[in-house]
Amino acid sequence: MNKEKKFTESRIEYLKLLAEQYPSIQQAASEYIRLSAILNLPKPTEHFLSDIHGEHDTFMHFLVSGSGVIRNKIEEALEKESKEKKDFLATIIYYPKEKLDLLAKQKRINAEVLKEILKDLITITRFISSKYTRSKVRSMITIGYQDIVEELLQTDFKAESKEAYCNEIIEAVIATGRAEAFIMEICFLIQRISVDRLHILGDIFDRGNGACRIMDTICQLPSVDITWGNHDLLYMGASAGNYACIANVIRNSCRYNHLSTLEDGYGISLRPLVTFAMQFYGNDPCLEFIPKQEEANAMDDYDLSVVAKMHKAITIIQLKVEEQEIIRHPRYLADKLNKLRNINFQKGTISLENKEYLLIDTNFPTIQKDHPEKLSKEEEILMEKLSMAFRHSEKLSRHVRFLLNHGAMYLKCNGNLLYHGCIPTDESGEFLTYINRDGKEYSGKRYLDYCDMKVRKALLTPHPEEDDLDFLWFLWCCPISPLYGKENIATFERYFLKKEDYTDIHETKNPYYFFINQEAYVEKIMKEFHLDASKGIVINGHMPVKIIKGESPLKAGGKLLIIDGGMSKAYQKVTGIAGYTLTSSSKAIRLVAHQPFESKEKAIQENRDIIHSITNLTKYTHRLKTKDTDQGKELLKKVKNLSDLIVAYSEGYIATK
């Protein structure tokens, strides 16, 4: 600390402002010491998830287990204990109430068992909490338990002088009948301190029926950030009233039979759609629109035949309003998505990619043959009602605000680059250029920044322009969207062509997905975002990794990772795996492969986890510290300012209050 430093007038003015927060040299020195110590603590653990797709129970298991972080801590803290005991303790930590209830039902709970569980949990907690400040750990303990937990964490059971003291605390907890509640508190503390920050790489919504509950949980997390996925943008666009987004949200809900997400979760009534569907498709069996049983969620609210009619009705509306989007915005380059104009209604065929296909369903009671994109009067009334319901859903609005406040098109964190989809690229490997309506060109980082701005403008402006609202649909499914990255989306083909026909029509991926196998290209991406490729990696979601076809989540020699391995049950038959997650600690970056999550009940009863394998992608030669992180860089600035303030006090530049 330089005690003979001279300050400029502007620096003195800044330090005077800082002095209002630390009005004495003692207070400034105390904070300087505290922050300097924090900088030398081990780097906090980060947890990366992608493509949750409404799978609530699987998401919660990843969350409470830290994707193997907690099990790894148990292994280290109780190294000599048996595997069975470690499995048992892991399940207790993940699901404390449910496991204790099961033990009580099996008559396996008594004072000795509770005492042993508590001792083991305290040992594990002490081991994990050693990388945090005492004040941070205390802040994570429920008021009322803080003094007891802190006392146990600061005391070693093996220390002869304190053994009786610790045992008496635990016995008193058991004697007062608070053992179960205390165990739950310790377990939740372990969950909270094992992972410092959660990164979600998009696609929280669709397919599974738990998206609303997942968002409720995410909104309560103390430290989380999100890179938006195209399925998230659908819900965000629907909340703003965009017809194409609304139609897609409802169609996906029908296809996977999770209408309860909209009706029970978000309070959006679909009764107007039921009435409309029965009026126009009441005599239509809608066989191709019955939710696929191997993909669909069980739901009793509607008969499947009614869901099928709703499904077809909203699909036709979706195709219409999407064609309107394409006509309004030629710069979206989405002509391949425009299917209705290619139908020959007299022959019952459609021309796609210079080939004619026979339609398996030709009942289109609301389509005008000369203007297939035009909504009927009844469809207009229906969409206005649905738009109002989405726009006035208080919970959906709250969730969208959270996505805006904690999310972005991409994030840079601790030298790594996070995004959901892709960086649109042309066939020569150059970043593809998007031209907006004013003729301005955007590519690479500037393009993603532009997309981010458009999303916020559409959702934060009281009366957004149609162009901004339409852009939310563009991000969902258009070929040059950074969140989609394919030339086609085979919605029409899936419903109206024979399976052997539509499997011939490829959803060609953007060249990005070819070039990410090349180290030079990934290094180019990192440079575009002002990051050092020798120190960080790209973490990507969106594309399920088809292990059964020999695909790998590691690209470009491990410089880029795709961590969507198929958390959604609908994907697992083509991926052969139930998802990838990633953890980054002070010791290593680990890629975690998961087995399918059968049920929470089975995990509790059999002490089962879903980790298939853990791969150390990077094992650091020295343990990383907080000062090596982005948070550390900010703390170093504060330490520097406090150092100057102490000197300013000492040299008389600023008077101590």
Residue where a domain terminates, one of 441, 469, 494: 494
pLDDT at 259: 94
> Binning pLDDT at 50, 70 and 90, where does residue 332 land?
very high
Residue 181 lies in domain: 67-194
pLDDT of 656 above 90: no
Query: Tokens 């099928």 correspond to what residue?
Result: 308
pLDDT at 299: 55
Q: Is residue 264 part of a domain?
A: yes
Q: Is residue 544 part of a domain?
A: no
Residue where a domain terminates, one of 145, 175, 194: 194
Separation of alpha carbons 480 and 489, rounded Å: 12
User: How far from 508 is each of 244, 478, 504, CA to CA, in Å?
Assistant: 22, 12, 11
Secondary structure E strands in 216-337: 224-227
pLDDT of 578 above 80: no
Q: Is residue 570 part of a domain?
A: no
Q: Is residue 408 part of a domain?
A: no
Q: What is the pLDDT of residues 626-641, one digit of tens each?
A: 999 999 999 999 999 9
Residue 198's φ and ψ, nearest 5 degrees, are: -105, 130
pLDDT at 522: 97
Residues 389 and 480 in one domain: yes
Q: Please give the mean pLDDT across all residues of the chain.
A: 91
> Which has the higher per-residue pLDDT, 363 or 603?
363
Residues 164 and 239 in one domain: no
What single-letter DSSP state applies at residue 261? I
Least confident of 64-68, 141-145, 405-409, 644-648: 141-145
Q: Of 118, 210, 119, 106, nearest to 158 (Cα)?
A: 119
| Count of structural domains within the chain | 3
Residues 369 and 482 in one domain: yes
pLDDT of 295 above 60: no
Residues 490 and 384 in one domain: yes
Separation of alpha carbons 367 and 374, rounded Å: 7
Helix, strand and coil percent figures for the chain, each rounded to 5: 55, 10, 35
Q: What is the pLDDT of residues 12-64, one digit of tens each?
A: 999 999 999 999 999 999 999 999 999 999 999 999 999 999 999 999 999 99
> Binning pLDDT at 50, 70 and 90, where does residue 507 land?
confident
Average of per-residue pLDDT across 113-139: 89
Q: What is the pLDDT of residues 358-392, one digit of tens each?
A: 999 999 999 999 999 999 999 999 999 999 999 99
pLDDT at 159: 60
pLDDT at 336: 87
Separation of alpha carbons 225 and 167, rounded Å: 41
Q: Are 148 and 178 in contact (CB under 8 A)?
A: no
Tokens of 522: 């990934």
pLDDT of 555 above 80: yes
* Predicted TM-score (pTM) of this structure: 0.93
Share of the chain above pLDDT 90, in %: 74
Q: Of 309, 308, 302, nearest to 365 (Cα)?
A: 309
Residues 71 and 37 in one domain: no
pLDDT at 602: 86
Residues 383 and 478 in one domain: yes
Average of per-residue pLDDT across 235-252: 98
> Binning pLDDT at 50, 70 and 90, where does residue 301 land?
low
Q: What is the pLDDT of residues 433-476, one digit of tens each?
A: 999 999 999 999 999 999 999 999 999 999 999 999 999 999 99
Tokens of 413: 């964190």
Q: What is the pLDDT of residues 305-320, one digit of tens each?
A: 999 999 999 999 999 9
Residue where a domain terminates, one of 194, 215, 242: 194
Residues 238 and 168 in one domain: no
Residues 100 and 244 in one domain: no
pLDDT at 500: 84
pLDDT of 565 above 80: no
pLDDT at 540: 95
pLDDT at 134: 85
Residues 329 and 369 in one domain: yes
Q: Is 22 helix (H, G, I), strand (E, B) or coil?
A: coil
Q: Is residue 4 part of a domain?
A: no
Residues 124 and 263 in one domain: no
Residues 37 and 72 in one domain: no
Separation of alpha carbons 9 and 31, rounded Å: 24
Q: Is 130 helix (H, G, I), strand (E, B) or coil?
A: coil
pLDDT at 155: 66
Q: Is residue 166 part of a domain?
A: yes
